[in-house]
Structure 1
Amino acid sequence: MRVEQGFQPTPYTEGNPFTTDPVLPNLLKRLLPRDVHEEVYGDLERFGLKVLTTLHDLTSKTSEPRVVQYDQWGRRIDDLQTSEGWRGLKAQMQEEGVIGIPFERKYGEFSRVYGFMKQFIAIGDSDVISCPFAMTDGTSRVLELVGSPAVKRDIFPRLTSRDPSLAFTAGQWMTERPGGSDVSQTETIARPVSNASSPYGPVYRIDGFKWFSSATDSDIAVALARTGPPESGSRGLSLFLIPLRRPLIRPVDAPRPPALTNNIKIHRLKNKFGTKILPTAELSLEGAEGYLLGEVNQGVKFITPVLNITRIHSALTSVGSIRKCLAIATAYSSVRAISGGRQLLKDNVLHVAELARAHLTYRALTHFVFGVVLLLGKTECKVATDDEVLRLRLLTPAVKAFAADKASGVMEECMTMLGGQGYMEESRIGTVLKDAMVEKIWEGTTTVLSLDMVRAAAKPGVLHASASTISNMHQWANTIVSSCPADLVHRLAERLATLRICVTEVISAYTNPSTPLLSRPTLALFAYTTSALYLLEHAIWAHESGEATANTDIEVFRRWIDEGGLLPALQDVRRVKTAGADRTKMDAEIVYGNTSTTQVVDDLPISARL
């Protein structure tokens, strides 16, 4: 039998990733003022169709990058070659203003929601092009804050440009071999060049080795380098703007020079589990020219905006990846027939129940992410309250860690919902899953971020109360719960009580940490609780506005409290708080064995050991 004979599976068709999504249209309606919403909605609808066509076609033309280090005459050239599809995706996203929209600020603080939502619906059909744009976004913010007048004139406008022939992308170089996430062990050295000057800032000669440089095809990078003695740790680091190629500013029609023009050598491209389309390299800096950003030895302080913004991008990528996989699984359920062809998957209650479970997590994470995005927009536009600024600091590491942790499990379930077809690369679920798993590592693992949460919670007014300010977290939660109308309070009384208990438990855990083991489960409980608050806020809005989705939104909140994982997270925190000192000892024995027993065995004669 030929393949075209016999039964022919029906291909599924994805809908517009914005207008057919069960969350985004109503979420946008709630977050944006009416006039902004009317203007933005049409553009997102148009772009959604572009994602399904132009961007999807470009992903079929992407391939892994490669480096040609030497030419035929043995000369070092370090020619980084990327694919037509990769370059096309970059140009499309620049034209769409993915970076430009937040900095044009046409819609004030709501520009962040607009720009992030545009990127969100493209995730899954843009081959991790979001990575260089995340770093470009963060770098743009740093230059906006501390760049010299010349930097703001020549470089910042290119980072935010919608013209691909002019637009720059940026990288972020911090990771080195000794420290990984611990930048205090940075080995890269920056020395001032006394006889050189630049309008972009004090000129330094930079020597070192950067272990991970994502988006190596970018035009500039922000990098940490040591300007103080090694024993000063992170307090001896400064932030630099480094051109990857010189001259940095050149005519549009001029050929792009190699990185060697700024004494930067590509040692090799990383052989990664996923994100293989993204050019990530090990770089050797051998006298590269860089320009100091901000004050000397204040690099960690000045690079913080990059970290905060890229962490939100990371969360966005995790949840956007879920969106893509769920869209595929949901579309497939409408065409796949089972039971001898008599029933579609969408009519099978067991299958729909599993889809609903996955959608529940997606809804909670989407509301969480865009709640943080709105706080970012308010903070950048200087319209945020002091409490909102503090809350953004606390929510940023939480949403990044939580979204990354939850994403892979949901995507795996989506893969199984297609059966064997889901395991095929053509479905793209496998590619999206492998690419998204890096978000558990990039910009901080869950353990690193849980410790960052402890530091953030220690700031006055963030969590614990003082004589003059009540807890930020408690005040915010109480404001949302108290806004619940009486009829909803009656329907949700038990869940609202549970939510209040969780808020109290989170504040207690951060205010009086009993053991270092508490940081991870407390982050999880905090994230479950925060996402529940955002779901409740949306359900109240839908109920009071008479939205057609109101009952669904209320049910989503109820299920997230009862079934989403909040109650087990609460139990985990309580268990760890009461755990005795022997637990860490037993952890070590579970992992490494009982060393005292091993020693006794080693002391026995060989015959006895046999």
Structure 2
Amino acid sequence: MGVEEGFQPIPYLEGNPYTTDPALPGLLKRLLPPSVAAEVEPDLVRFGDEVITSIRAISERVAPPRLTQYNHWGQRVDVLETSEGWRDLKAVCFKEGMPGIFYERKYNEYSRLYGFAKIHLMAGDSHVIHCPMSMTDGCARVLELIGTPEMKRELLPRLISRDPSTAFTSGQWMTERPGGSDVSLTETTATPTEHAKGTMWPEFQLNGFKWFSSATDSNISVALARTGDTKDGSRSLSLFLVPLRLPLIRDISSPEPSPISNGIYVHRLKNKIGTHIVPTAELSLQSTKAYLLGELNQGVKNIIPVLNITRIYSGMSGIGGIRKCLAIATTYSQVRAIRSGTQVLKDNALHVAQLASISLTYRALTHLTYGTILMMGKVETGVASVEEQHLLRILTAVVKAFTAEKAAAAMEEAMTTLGGMGYMEEVGIGRSIRDALVEKIWEGTTAVLAMEIVRSAKNPTTFAAFGSWSLRVIDSVPDSLKVRLQHSLSILQAGIQQTLAVYKASTDMSPLVPRPALLLVGHTASSVFLLEHAVWSWNTKDTECETDVEVFRRWVVEGGLSGVMEEVRIAQEAVKSRIATNRSITYGSKL
């Protein structure tokens, strides 16, 4: 039989990622003022059409980067070639205002919601282009906060430009061979030059080795380097702005400088499990010119805005990936016939139940992420309450870690709903899963972020803010709705009380508690955000009211909150014998 003969599968056709999204339009309807929503929603609809047409076509033309270290004369050249598709995706981001929207601030604190909604819609077809865009955004924020007037005049406009011909992207260089997430072991040193003082470009020379540098095709990078004694660990690190080529500022018509013009040598490109298109490399810095950002020996503090922003992008990458995989799965279910062609998958109750479970996770993560984004927008525009400032400190890390923990598993479930078709590379779910795995590591593993939250809890007002916010949302539930949600509300209240109790004892916490405790915060916070939306939907008699209420109920009762509460309890009660047993289970009793 010829391939053209016999049964022919019906191709599925995805719709506009904004108008068909199960969560985003309703969420923005609640979070955005009507005047802002009236302006941005038509642009999101337009952009959604662009995603499934021109942007998707561009994404088909991307290819992994290539590195040529030596020319035919044996001279070191370190030419890094990226594909035209990659460069075009970057141009799309700049033209669409990513990250320009965030700094134009036309919509004040709501600008973050608008800009991230675009990132959300594009993420599934972007080949992780928002990795360099996140670091560009973070660098722009650092310059806005602590850059010199000349840096703000010469560089900031390029980082937030909508013109791809003049726009700059930024990298971020923290990771080194001795420490990974532990920057206290940083080996790269910074030595002041004669131009280190009395100038708006305080100049240093960097010497060292950066083991993991994403977006090596960028124009500049922010980097940590040691300016004090090694014994002082992270307290002797400073933050620097590093040009990848010299001169940094040049006329657009001038030839591009040599890739090694600033003493930056590419040891090799990284061979990664996923994110194959992102040019990630190991770099050797040899008398590399760099400019101090902020005060000496305050590098860890000064790079925090970059980490906060990139962690939100990380969460957005996760939910953007689920959105794409869920869209594929739901549209496939509308055309794939089973039972000798007598039933379409969308009419099969067992199949739809699996899709509903994926959608439930997607909705919870989306509400958690956007609720945190709004707080970020408020902090950046100076309108956040003290409570929101404390919440943002906790939730930024939670968004990154909790979404990373949930995203890949949800994508795997979406893959299985297509059967063998889902396992095919050309469908795209496999790439989404591989790319999502890095989010469990990039910008801090779940364990690293869990310890960060424990440290933040040493300030008692931090989790006091979490408690007051959570309980206030529960108190807002109208009596008519409390009756329906009595069981789920009691579970949520127990989860909140356990969260507050766990972190109240942060100074005497069992070493097994921090990780499940972070997941507990993720479950409770996402539940509170879903409840907040359900209450709004109920009070306004929104058309999706019944669905919104049921999503909250199911997420609390069936989404894993009770399970993680039990994990925390077990970890709290763990004695030394359990820790020893963990070792024997892992390594055998002879170790």
Alpha-carbon distance in 2 for matches of 1:82, 1:214: 13
Hey, what does 1:535 align to over in structure 2? 530
- 1:553 paired with 2:533, answer no
Hey, what does 2:294 align to over in structure 1? 294
Hey, what does 1:266 align to over in structure 2? 266
User: What secondary structure does 1:517 align onto?
Assistant: coil
Deviation (angstroms), 1:200: 4.3
Alpha-carbon distance in 2 for matches of 1:457, 1:321: 31
User: What secondary structure does 2:238 align onto?
Assistant: strand
Hey, what does 1:518 align to over in structure 2? 513
Hey, what does 1:103 align to over in structure 2? 103
| 2:488 aligns with one of 483, 487, 495 | 495
Residues 158-557 of structure 1 mapped to structure 2, 5 A cutoff: 158-194=158-194, 200-463=200-463, 471-513=464-506, 514-557=509-552
Deviation (angstroms), 1:494: 1.8
Q: TM-score scaled by structure 2?
A: 0.98
Distance change in 2, residues 1:581/1:301 (3 Å): same
Distance change in 2, residues 1:349/1:198 (3 Å): farther
Alpha-carbon distance in 2 for matches of 1:533, 1:458: 23
Structure 1: runs of 5+ lacking an equivalent: 464-470, 599-610
Alpha-carbon distance in 2 for matches of 1:529, 1:575: 18
Deviation (angstroms), 1:202: 1.1
Alpha-carbon distance in 2 for matches of 1:575, 1:593: 22
Deviates more, 1:36-45 or 1:414-423: 414-423
Alpha-carbon distance in 2 for matches of 1:283, 1:10: 48
User: What secondary structure does 2:384 align onto?
Assistant: coil
User: What secondary structure does 2:543 align onto?
Assistant: coil
1:31-62 alpha-carbon deviations (Å, 9 max, x no partner) = 00000000000000000000001110011100
Deviation (angstroms), 1:512: 1.4
Residues 128-139 of structure 1 mapped to structure 2, 5 A cutoff: 128-139=128-139
Deviates more, 1:118-127 or 1:257-266: 257-266
User: What secondary structure does 2:80 align onto?
Assistant: strand
Residues 88-99 of structure 1 mapped to structure 2, 5 A cutoff: 88-99=88-99
User: What secondary structure does 2:532 align onto?
Assistant: helix
Q: TM-score scaled by structure 1?
A: 0.95
Q: Answer whether contact 2:512 2:574 (CA < 8 A) is retained.
A: no
User: What secondary structure does 1:292 align onto?
Assistant: strand
Alpha-carbon distance in 2 for matches of 1:249, 1:343: 63
Q: Answer whether contact 1:190 1:227 (CA < 8 A) is retained.
A: yes
Q: Answer whether contact 1:274 1:438 (CA < 8 A) is retained.
A: yes
Deviation (angstroms), 1:197: 7.2
Q: Answer whether contact 1:14 1:328 (CA < 8 A) is retained.
A: yes
Bigger Rg, which one: 1
Q: Which amino acid aligns with 2:290?
A: G
Q: Answer whether contact 1:201 1:293 (CA < 8 A) is retained.
A: no
Q: Which amino acid aligns with 2:505?
A: N
User: What secondary structure does 1:421 align onto?
Assistant: helix
Deviation (angstroms), 1:365: 0.3
1:68-94 alpha-carbon deviations (Å, 9 max, x no partner) = 111122221111000010000000111
Q: Answer whether contact 1:150 1:199 (CA < 8 A) is retained.
A: no
Deviation (angstroms), 1:258: 2.7
1:241-297 alpha-carbon deviations (Å, 9 max, x no partner) = 000011111111223223211111111100000000000000010000000000000
Distance change in 2, residues 1:589/1:237 (3 Å): same
Hey, what does 1:601 align to over in structure 2? none
Alpha-carbon distance in 1 for matches of 2:460, 2:139: 29
Q: Which amino acid aligns with 1:488?
A: L
Q: Which amino acid aligns with 2:202?
A: P
Hey, what does 1:467 align to over in structure 2? none
Q: Which amino acid aligns with 1:205?
A: Q
Q: Answer whether contact 1:175 1:181 (CA < 8 A) is retained.
A: yes
Alpha-carbon distance in 2 for matches of 1:523, 1:203: 41
Distance change in 2, residues 1:51/1:200 (3 Å): farther
Q: Which amino acid aligns with 2:396?
A: T
Deviates more, 1:76-85 or 1:510-519: 510-519
Q: What is the Cα-based RMSD across aligned positions, in Å?
A: 1.1
Hey, what does 1:33 align to over in structure 2? 33
Hey, what does 1:55 align to over in structure 2? 55
Q: Which amino acid aligns with 1:399?
A: V
Alpha-carbon distance in 2 for matches of 1:489, 1:497: 10
Hey, what does 1:16 align to over in structure 2? 16
User: What secondary structure does 1:289 align onto?
Assistant: strand
Hey, what does 1:146 align to over in structure 2? 146
Question: How many pairs were matched up?
Answer: 589
Deviation (angstroms), 1:196: 6.6
Deviation (angstroms), 1:199: 5.2
Q: Answer whether contact 1:321 1:432 (CA < 8 A) is retained.
A: yes
Q: Answer whether contact 1:148 1:199 (CA < 8 A) is retained.
A: no
Deviation (angstroms), 1:186: 0.2
Hey, what does 2:66 align to over in structure 1? 66
Alpha-carbon distance in 1 for matches of 2:315, 2:75: 43
Alpha-carbon distance in 2 for matches of 1:110, 1:553: 23
Deviation (angstroms), 1:500: 1.1
Among the aligned pairs, what percent are the same residue?
55
Moved over 6 A (4+): none
User: What secondary structure does 1:260 align onto?
Assistant: coil
Q: Answer whether contact 1:200 1:291 (CA < 8 A) is retained.
A: no
Deviates more, 1:129-138 or 1:571-580: 571-580
Deviation (angstroms), 1:6: 1.4
User: What secondary structure does 1:241 align onto?
Assistant: strand
Distance change in 2, residues 1:381/1:196 (3 Å): closer
Q: Which amino acid aligns with 1:586?
A: T
User: What secondary structure does 2:207 align onto?
Assistant: strand
Deviation (angstroms), 1:3: 1.1
Q: Answer whether contact 2:195 2:203 (CA < 8 A) is retained.
A: no
1:457-509 alpha-carbon deviations (Å, 9 max, x no partner) = 2223112xxxxxxx211110111011111100111112112111111100111
